[in-house]
Amino acid sequence: MNVLDKSTGLKNMADDIELYQQVLNEYYKENQDTEEKIIFAIKEKNYAGAVQIVHKVKGSSGSIGARALYEVSVKLQKALKEEMEEEILPLYKEFSNLLKTLFGEIRELKL
């Protein structure tokens, strides 16, 4: 299963392939240290800080067509906001796995 739905992402970019590629490359660059930032914030119990990072990823994931990552981000953001500690780490692991998979798909992508 692909994390990235290219048709949705392209539709969100008005079918502009060059723009989509540019946005994907920017997403890839901007999120290289996202996992470390989130896990550090969680370990420090800085849930508000983690919420901000997840919120940013959530929005951009939705726009590029990474629906599964978007949906996990929604759940993780809620768990962090409500400080549901028993749910945070399992959701973070799912988030992390999806993000890694997405990075691999972006690297391999030839539009």
**In the structure encoding, which two tokens stand for residue 20, read together?**
């989509």
- Tally of CA atoms within 13 A in the half-sphere of 42 that contains its CB: 23
- Residue 63's closest CA among 33, 30, 23, 90? 23
* 1 pLDDT tier (thresholds 50, 70, 90): confident
**Angstrom distances, CA of residue 62 to CA of 40, 41, 42, 65, 97:** 24, 23, 23, 5, 17
Cα dihedral sign, 50-77-92-21: negative
Quick one: pLDDT at residue 67?
96
pLDDT in tens, 23-79: 999 999 999 999 999 999 999 999 999 999 999 999 999 999 999 999 999 999 999
How far is 3 from 15, CA to CA, in rounded Å?
19
How far is 80 from 101, CA to CA, in rounded Å?
23
pTM of the model: 0.94
Query: Average pLDDT for residues 82-102, to the nearest whole number?
Result: 97
Tokens 């920017």, residue?
A: 26
pLDDT in tens, 4-36: 999 999 999 999 999 999 999 999 999 999 999
Quick one: pLDDT at residue 65?
97
